[in-house]
Each structure stands twice: as structure tokens, then as C-alpha cells.
Amino acid sequence: MDLYNILFYISATFWLILGIRQFKGKWGWFFLILGTADLIARAGSHLINLPSTFYYPMSTTLQIFALYYLFFEKHKFIIFPISLLLLIPGIYLPIEIRTAFLSILLLFIFSFFIRKFILELFHNKKLNLFLITFSTYWLINVLKIIMIRLKLWEAVDLFYMATMFQLVIMIPFLFIRHDDERLSININRTKENQDSKEP
């Protein structure tokens, strides 16, 4: 088995476990879809002989819907079949267009989480470790897609290193739910404690 497949199955297993672990949280559906995306894409590519790249725009669209968890919970039985329709144009569109579309979707998810982080930091005066970690994860995803789009395959070692780094920074969330209050550090309280120690 080559390095790509070894890394794929490690990553897919990791995200499946993490998706199940995070399912009871606020963005549970998001994590479950994210956690099963790789395995579904690989299974689909074997069953109907389509490259896994056809499935990622569909699963990423579902993830975006799932970010708006109240809306998604209410309409998920409509959203799932509608998202499946994305497979149809994907079959006929060139890979360049599919990759560009996927890049836009990934940027949307990144902007969603970085916006949440900034609002939490400046509005609520809290440093949320999950939001900054997950924003970093999605930013790396965007950069990896750009590498693929620019055909920078000579940087394949960097691609593998980026994937391993993503797994490492997400390890804590195998044990801690993303909406755990312990992940939010109150900056004002920290500053007050520092001030109180000064003579």
C-alpha cells in the first residue's frame, strides 16, 4: 500500500471517530457529514467507478447547510436529496471547474469559523481554542486545494505534511466536544488576575 492510501485510511478513520464523538454537540450533523465524507467518497468511487473528487462538492455543500444547525435539523430530509443533485453536473463538468467550486465552498466554511472566532474574541472577550484551531484546519484545506489547482505536485511532501499537521491539531477533539465551555478562555478575567498580582 502506497503512502497516499495509508494516509487516506488513517485520516478517514480519524475523522469518522471524531465525527461520531462530536455528534452530540451544536454542530453535530456538520461533524458527522465531515467524518463520513472520505469513506463515502472512496466507497462510491469503487461501487460506481467515479473518482472521489465528484463527491466532495456534494458533501461540502451538506456541511455548509449543517453549520446552520437549526435550519438543517428541520429540513435535513429535503436538503440531503437536493445535495445529491450536485453529483449530476459534477459528472459532466471539467475537473478545473469542480476544483474551483470546491475551493469556494471551503473558503465559505473557513470564513464561517474565523468570523465566529473574531466575534467571540472582540465581542465576548473570549479566546475560543476550538474556533481558532478549526479555522486553521480549514485554511490549510483551502491552501491544499490551491496546490492541486496549480498542479504543484512537486510539493507532494508538503501536502502530506499539511494533512498530518491537520490531524495532530484536531486530536484534542477526539476527547473534548467542540462546544465545551473549557475551550473558551475569558480574556478579561485573565487580565484582571494579572492586574491583581501587580503591587
Which of the four pLDDT bands, split at 50, 70 and 90, describes residue 167? very high
pLDDT at 68: 87
For residue 185, report the phi and psi dihedrals to the nearest 5 degrees.
-100, 120
Confidence grade of residue 154 (pLDDT, cut at 50, 70, 90): low
Task: Read off the pTM.
Answer: 0.84
Residue 69: pLDDT over 70: yes
**198 or 62: whose pLDDT is higher?**
62
Q: Given the C-alpha cell 465552498, which residue does it identify?
A: 105
pLDDT (average), residues 64-91: 78
Instruction: Supply the pLDDT for residue 1.
Output: 60
Cα–Cα distance between 131 and 118 in angstroms, integer? 9
Answer yes or no: is pLDDT of 110 > 70: yes
pLDDT of residue 189 exceeding 70, the answer is: no
pLDDT (average), residues 15-21 = 93
pLDDT band at residue 127 under the 50/70/90 scheme: very high
Structural domain spans, the chain: 3-197
pLDDT category of residue 89 using cuts at 50, 70 and 90 = low
pLDDT number for residue 174: 93
Length of the chain: 199
Range in 15-29, 47-61, 175-189 the model is least confident about: 47-61
Q: How far apart are CA 154 and CA 152, in angstroms?
A: 5
List the grid coordinates of 178: 467542540
